[in-house]
Chain A
Amino acid sequence: MFDKWKNRIIGSEILGINERNMDYVYQLNPKKYFTLADDKVKCKELLHANNIACAKTYGVVRRIGDISRMWSNLNHYKKIAIKPANGSGGGGILILKKNAEGYWVSGGEIWSEQKIFTHMARIIMGMYSFGSSDHVLVEQCIEPHPFFAEIYAAGVPDFRIILIKDEPVMSMLRVPTDKSGGKANLHQGGLGIGIDMEKGTLLDAFDGHTYYTHHPDNGNSIAGKEIPMWNTLVALSIATSKCFPLDYLGIDIVIDAELGPLIMEINVRPGLGIQLANKSGLKLLLKAKLN
């Protein structure tokens, strides 16, 4: 009786926030395990332990006193990414590359060791995680697969796959635009591109207002484009999902030019904009897997 009533009100195939939280996030993801996905350091430990392809961890700094000792182990790399373990919205992420003279450079500026240490100290003191102390994750820097440059040259585009009980149900590719300033999030002006999961090809792109078959900034074609290593990518997402005691996940994957698909991030409350990118609702797909 309840269900009949429910369907009358809810009707559509679109999954709303209330229903996502109530029927999927709360039901399938025990709260005590959220941290396995939310904390980047813990997440990577789990991934490494299960031999899941992801960016190599060069080091974790937990105390300010450890910074300089850790740094001596890092100095021989050419490119590194420094991240807060519990940052939000990309805050505090620093990408460093060595230039021809051997200096560390980020955003066209030379970064002295002193400056890099200060940045790490800030992360540990909780600058990017709202006051609570945090850890620094130093990892391998991703070099995007040439496929992405065929769509848009700058930034690092990534795939988002929604899985329920280790089964992929919907996915999209997120690509930056001139407006989004290198970021690929939908609400920051990036493009969400739907994916035909059977064929492994791209569908139309959506920027929050309009659908496009070509990238709006450069006219590169999008719709119908074949995704390289799609099957590996899907298999990687399933393998990843199986290592986590969480049954409703949004897994972010990038394709590295050399290493192929790598796990970037795991989300326990994946956003619902993916439905817009795919022009279809999640509700029926999820329900079918639930029963």
Chain B
Amino acid sequence: MLLKKSFFIASMLLLLLPILFSAFKYSQNNFEISDIIPREIYTVSLELEMSDLPKKAVVKSYLPESNQRQEIRNHTWYGDSITVTTKKNEFGTQIIWDVADFNDVLYTYEYEVEGKYVRFDLPLDSPFEEHSSIELQQFLSSDPFIQTSHVQIESKAKELKKHSVLATLRSNFAYVKSIRSSNTRLLTDAVSVLRLNRASCNGKSRLFTALCRAQGIPSRVVGGTILENVQKRTSHLWSEIYYGGSWIPFDVMNDHFAMLPANYLQLYTGDVYLFNYTKDLNFDYQFDIKKKYQSLNEKRIEGLSLWPLLNELHLPMDLLRSLLLLPLAALLIAIFRNVVGINSFGILLPALIGLALVNVDLVTGLTAFGIVIVLVALLHLLLEKWSLLHVPKVAIILTSVIITLLTFGIAGVLLDWEMGEMMIYLPIVIISITAERFAKVLNEEDLSEALKMLLNTALISLLTCLIFRSKLLIGVFLTFPELYLPLIVILLFLGRWIGMRISEYRRFSPTLN
């Protein structure tokens, strides 16, 4: 009894004190719940290289502007012998570098970008709008490379036009999407795309824009780059249409209809070149892009918190999520096993599977997992018949998992089959263990029991995966790490929980009634 009382008091203290502390911290710091979500921030360094300088050289490009879907901050630059001026024009903010030096010049312009995913829902029966304003006329008329009034464009536009704006956009989108993609960096105009029936992003965007304009929907192309954790020279072109008072993005090349992911950096609007430079100048550039996560404002969350791990150490997200959220996944598994009574293969195995599926599409990932496990388990059954010793058998299983993954991987590459390609990244050891457990149940029980366990494992893996995917939960534990103590208390109570498991009510229902 004494033990129980001390257990009770200790657990209540561990449960309540951290929660009170968290509440205190919350009240002391002025932040919204959305502020604790780690933010994806890209540092973009535009590196310029100039050599064979003529007496005086000028390079012009565009700097991104903050708008509803992107916030640009912390501009810095380094490099000398250069005069920098910025100037707004109709396409964006132009930056002009005047170079007066005969030496080679290296110059870096750096800024931080935080993007936002945007998505527009156009009403189904959206009527065509009348546009009489002068400002919009330029987005309806022909351009050198967006030849709206060309007879071929006009007839194609007429053919694709439907009763509503949404239906028209869909048919334009589907048509342009069906054109073969190429990676050419050559400039392709709208009419050439029709003629060649193949195009890169710039050709597809121009054709989409030309078709929309010809149908009376104001449209323009937008230039920028896709933010990834790489060094790259490629810029990207997509389209926007004007409807209901706002510009709505479309990227046919990457299949974004009326939406844009957060990692699209817009540099300018309109069909212009990203770089202009003095003739004969030997000029090169690249974007060096680095992705990191941090709080909205580093100083905002004070008191004991784990934010420095992100803000200063810049721990990678995948490491952070397994560090911070594995305890929560383990709690979920404990509840499933001891309270619900659902058994899976292995105890922490579903959490590891969930972690492995964090960065892939869930349905594809789980299907791929299931296929490999069933295949390997069948092989396992065969090995069982031949009565092999345990360790060589495990080694064979491991090897066959690898052969299976490699086969799917190469088939994926050759047949352009996405799921196959993805399978090469599945975790080998986790699959081997799961397949072994599956085969064991298949051997000792029967197929239906083994499949049931496999489904249970998939279900729990899926739920743990959702936990691991939550940036909000990562933010919660970064901000309030003291909440691990109440989590342990819940586990302590689960550890002393002697109630019937929910599944046992069913099992014993013949005697319960």
With A12-B500, A280-B511 already in contact, the answer to whether A18 and B338 are too (CB < 8 A) is yes
Across the A-B interface, give the 4 residue pairs with the lowest CB-CB distance, nearest first.
Answer: A16-B500, A131-B390, A19-B498, A14-B508
Give Cα A127 to B389, complex, Å: 6
Chain B residues 491 to 513 lying within 8 A of chain A, measured CB to CB, are 496-501, 504, 507-508, 510-512
**Chain A contacts with B in 120-160, Cβ cutoff 8 A:** 122, 125-127, 130-131
Given A126-B389, A131-B391: A279 in contact with B500 (beta carbons within 8 A): no
Is B445 interfacial (CB-CB < 8 Å)? yes
Contact of A12 among B501, B510, B512 (CB under 8 A): B512
For A23, list chain B residues within 8 Å (CB): 498
Chain A residue with the shortest CB-CB distance to B394: A131
CA distance A2 to B511 in the complex (A): 27
Q: Does B4 contact A (CB under 8 A)?
A: yes
Measured between alpha carbons, how far is A61 from B445 in the docked complex, in Å? 29
Point out the residue from B338, B389, B500, B508 that lies within 8 Å of A276, measured CB to CB.
Answer: B508
CB-defined A-B contacts under 8 Å, sample of 28: A2-B8, A6-B499, A12-B508, A14-B504, A14-B511, A14-B512, A16-B499, A16-B504, A17-B341, A17-B504, A18-B497, A18-B499, A19-B498, A19-B499, A22-B496, A22-B498, A89-B444, A126-B390, A127-B389, A130-B390, A131-B390, A188-B445, A206-B510, A272-B508, A275-B511, A276-B507, A276-B508, A276-B511
| Complex contact B387–A279 (CB within 8 A) | no
Residues of B within 8 A of A9 (CB): 499
Residues of chain A within 8 A of B389, CB atoms compared: 122, 125-127
Min CB–CB distance B498 → chain A (angstroms): 4
Inter-chain contact A279/B510, CB cutoff 8 Å: yes
Decide if A10 touches B499 in the complex (CB within 8 Å). Answer: yes
B residues sitting closer than 8 Å to A (CB atoms) are 4, 8, 338, 341, 387, 389-391, 444-445, 496-501, 504, 507-508, 510-512
Q: What does the 1/0 interface line of A196-207 toward B look like (CB < 8 Å)?
A: 000000000010
Q: How far is the CA of A22 from the CA of B510 in the complex (A)?
A: 25
A211 at interface (Cβ–Cβ under 8 A)? Answer: yes
**Residue ranges of A at the interface with B (Cβ–Cβ < 8 Å):** 2, 6, 9-10, 12, 14, 16-19, 22-23, 88-89, 91, 122, 125-127, 130-131, 187-188, 206, 211, 272, 275-276, 278-281
Query: Shortest CB–CB separation between residue A81 and chain B, in angstroms?
Result: 19
Q: Residues of B contacting A89 with CB < 8 Å?
A: 444
Residues of B within 8 A of A276 (CB): 507-508, 510-511
> Cβ of B507: which chain A residues have Cβ within 8 Å of it?
276
Chain B residues near A16 (CB-CB < 8 A): 498-501, 504
Q: Is the CB of A279 within 8 A of B511?
A: yes
Q: In angstroms, how far is the closest chain B Cβ from the Cβ of A246?
A: 20
A130–B391 alpha-carbon span in the complex (Å): 9
CB pair B501 A18 closer than 8 Å: yes
Closest CB in chain B relative to A74 CB, distance in Å: 22
Q: Shortest CB–CB separation between residue B347 and chain A, in angstroms?
A: 15
Chain A residues with CB under 8 Å of B508's CB are: 12, 14, 272, 275-276
Give chain A nearest CB distance to B274 CB in angstroms: 62
A252–B217 CA distance with the chains assembled, in angstroms = 83
A27 to chain B minimum Cβ distance, whole angstroms, is 11
Contacts of A22 on B, CB cut-off 8 Å?
496, 498
| Contact residues in B for A91 (Cβ distance below 8 Å) | 444
- Contact partner of A127 (CB less than 8 A), chosen from B387, B497, B498, B510, is B387
How distant is the Cα of A278 from the Cα of B510 in the complex, in angstroms? 11
B506 to chain A, nearest CB (A): 12
CA distance A178 to B124 in the complex (A): 63
Q: Give min CB distance, A191 to chain B, whole Å.
A: 14
**Given A2-B4, A2-B8, A14-B512, 18 other A-B residues pairs in contact with their CB atoms under 8 A:** A6-B498, A9-B499, A10-B500, A14-B504, A16-B498, A16-B500, A18-B500, A19-B498, A88-B444, A89-B444, A122-B387, A125-B389, A130-B390, A188-B445, A276-B511, A278-B511, A280-B511, A281-B511
Known contacts A2-B4, A125-B389; A10 and B511 CB within 8 A of each other:
no
Residue of B nearest to A12 (CB): B512
CB nearest neighbor in A for B500: A16
Complex Cα distance, B100 from A175, in Å, reads 99
Kindly provide the distance from the CB of B430 to the nearest chain A CB, expressed in whole angstroms. 19
Nearest CB on B from A118, distance (A): 9
Which residue of B is nearest A6, CB measured? B498
Cβ–Cβ < 8 Å partners of A127 in chain B: 387, 389-390
Find chain A residues with CB under 8 A from B391 CB.
131
B497, closest chain A residue (CB): A18
Query: Once bound together, how far apart are the Cα atoms of A272 and B507, in whole Å?
Result: 10
- The complex places the Cα of A96 from the Cα of B69 at a distance, in Å, of 79
User: Which residues of the partner chain B approach A19 to less than 8 Å between Cβ atoms?
Assistant: 498-500
CB distance from A170 to the nearest CB of B (A): 12
B390, A211: Cβ atoms under 8 Å?
Answer: no
Instruction: List chain A residues, Cβ under 8 A from B341.
Output: 17
A116–B507 Cα gap in the complex (Å)? 41
CB-nearest residue of chain B relative to A16?
B500
CB distance from A16 to the nearest CB of B (A): 4
Which residue, A12, A16, A89, A206, has most C-beta atoms of chain B within 10 A?
A16
* Shortest distance between the CB of B2 and any CB in chain A (Å): 13
Chain B residues near A10 (CB-CB < 8 A): 498-500
Cβ–Cβ < 8 Å partners of B500 in chain A: 10, 12, 14, 16, 18-19
- Which residue of chain A has its CB nearest to the CB of B494? A18
Which chain A residues lie closer than 8 Å to B510 at the CB level?
206, 211, 276, 279
Minimum distance in angstroms from A275 CB to a CB of chain B: 6
User: Residues of A contacting B4 with CB < 8 Å?
Assistant: 2
B499 partner residues in chain A, CB cutoff 8 A: 6, 9-10, 16, 18-19
Tell me if A17 and B501 are in contact (CB < 8 A). Answer: yes
Report chain B residues within 8 Å CB of A2.
4, 8
Nearest chain A CB to B441's CB is how many angstroms away?
A: 11
